[in-house]
Amino acid sequence: MNHPESLESAKHPRAGQVLSGAEIIVQVLADEGVEVIFGYSGGAILPTYDAIFVHNRDSAQPSMPLVVPANEQGAGFMAAGYARASGKVGVCVVTSGPGATNTVTPVRDCLADSVPIVVICGQVPTAAIGTDAFQEAPVTAIMGSVAKHVFLVTDPTLLEATVRTAFEIARTGRPGPVVIDVPKDVQNWKGPYQGQGALPIPGYRRRLALVDKSTLSDASAAEFYSLLSTAQRPLIYAGGGAINGEASVELTHFAQHLRIPVVTTLMGIGAFDTTEPLSMRMLGMHGAAFANYAVDDCDFLIVLGARFDDRVAGVPARFAPNARVIAHFEVDVSEINKVKKVGFHHIGPLRQTLSALLHYAKTSNFSVDWSAWHAHCAQLRSVHAFNYDRDSELIQPYYVIEEINKHAKGEAIIATGVGQHQMWAAQYFDFKGPRQWLTSGSMGTMGFGLPAAIGAQFAHPSRVVIDIDGDASIRMNLGELETVTTYDLPVKVVVLNNCGDGMVKQWQKLFFKGRLSASDKSLHKKDFVRAALADGYGFAKRLDKKADVPAVIKEFMEFKGPAFLEVMIDTDAGVYPMVGPGQSYEEMITGDHIVSRKTDHDVTPPDTAEMF
């Protein structure tokens, strides 16, 4: 039984104090351990911005720096970059109307990639909602289909509980974005701070509790190992769930103990050290040829926190065609048998599940000799390795990334935009741990890289953070170059300039007879280096000679402050391997420099309904 004094000692120091709604919002953010806020001000959110200012000036509690971007989309992606790099909930605070609608894309991006952020939007006063008031937008209607959850706070007495519950929903289960729409009069309302309490969401909490309590039984573990004991070519296919579930360590121990090779999805990069001998790197549309061939050859596929998405299992019936058994471990029951039928599955937290599997393997002395499979995988890695035209006089993007990788040594945090540069970065960088790879996966949002890198740098001030971007992708949030220098962040920005929308051009060359409709930007007048200099970069250079690559990259990587490097790359450089949409790994296009199993390299255009 609790004693009165213990209850008193647990009481929040501000409990009972009369605070404004805005002050309540800020105090809950502080209680939740928020370290930084990203956002842009405006009329409907001014009370909360003022409360943030006062908190940072007067409070004895840790400050929450307010980072102001060029626009609200940048703020949303900064919050996402912070969340992806730290594993914590990112926070974005914006005004009503266009402020809120500018965050729609980051919110959808976070939902698609299971990233926990909380977006707090100002709204017109309660009485004005629905009157087409100045800077009014129907946030709940707009965000309802792209967020994990949306709250419109019309009862100010529920504001505190609502903000606290938003964090709970964002970080638990399958993480995702939560939006809170707060009318201006609710921000100005005054009432007592409770210091505790949340909204009643019994159904959600009950579902989470069922999953959390779903431990892998000895009987299930025995069944799994009984199936695995008959395998000759087992393979682990790990997705973003292994990172979201903080299961990278357990995945590593599991794979190393059983000696099972690992492929990862784009979102799973870093879940398993890419420099490890068991790593087969990324599979999928632009995955390593050796990874995709390993999937074709395996006879037992262990799926960890992955969902057989269309960029991995383009033709589900022909994905892992030789796998007699597919075992799927997930936290989200809706993913089981959604795309691919599996022979064994378990729903539960991945970290605990892998620990249970490893414990059972050790206590039961499970051991199988898979040395022949290891030799086969080693041969795949050797024969079908990534490669490119190393003798070309033009600067090849792969070469640039290889040189940067020599300095990064698998320890840097890499953010990217979306396009060819994104895939080159995924293919040629090493990642020794999780949360080092930040990219827009499911949504494929151009303009993601630079603001995400900014968010990551705030999450890890002492880490090397590099944005690998394309000339088309960085244009979409180019204003954030100034944000980097405003806050004197040592973010390193690389623009691989191929004068256009490189990935679109590649598809047009392959499937549209080379008609470069709206994708060739060679006539654009943008001088990126001058733009960076205008924004205050101490290091801003253009690299256009192959012989200068090692020296310039060394100088770039060793520069201590904000650094910008534009590299004029071969405009015809492509992303290979490539598995066309609606096609199987057997039909993978490997280009001119990666060895294929096929002797016939004819490209079969996908059906028009399958494009992208």
Is 568 one of the catalytic residues? Answer: no
Residue 180: HSE in the Cβ half-sphere, 13 Å Cα cutoff:
33
DSSP 198-233: ----HHHHHHHHHHHT-PPPHHHHHHHHHHHTT-SS
Cα 196 to Cα 214: distance, rounded to the nearest angstrom? 28
Is 78 one of the catalytic residues? Answer: no
Which of the following is catalytic: 17, 135, 194, 352? 135
List all residues 6 or more positions away from 18 whose beta carbon is below 8 Å from its beta carbon. 190, 191, 192, 193
Q: What are phi and psi of 3, to 5 degrees?
A: -90, 150
Neighbouring-strand partners of residue 543:
567
Cα 249 to Cα 221: distance, rounded to the nearest angstrom? 20
What is the 8-class DSSP label of residue 497?
E
- List of E strands, 382-439: 413-416, 437-438
Is 136 one of the catalytic residues? Answer: no
Is 448 one of the catalytic residues? Answer: no
Cα 280 to Cα 49: distance, rounded to the nearest angstrom? 48
Which of the following is catalytic: 27, 32, 38, 72? 72
H-type alpha helices, 432-546: 449-459, 471-475, 480-486, 502-511, 528-534
Nearest 10 degrees: Cα torsion 406, 409, 414, 417: 20
User: In terms of C-beta density within 10 A (0-12 exposed, 13-18 middle, 19 or more buried), how is residue 299 classed?
Assistant: middle
Which of the following is catalytic: 64, 78, 503, 588? 503
Is 559 one of the catalytic residues? Answer: no
Which of the following is catalytic: 11, 53, 134, 598? 134
Which of the following is catalytic: 184, 340, 492, 541? 184
User: In terms of C-beta density within 10 A (0-12 exposed, 13-18 middle, 19 or more buried), how is residue 244 classed?
Assistant: buried
Just list the catalytic residues: 72, 134-135, 184, 503
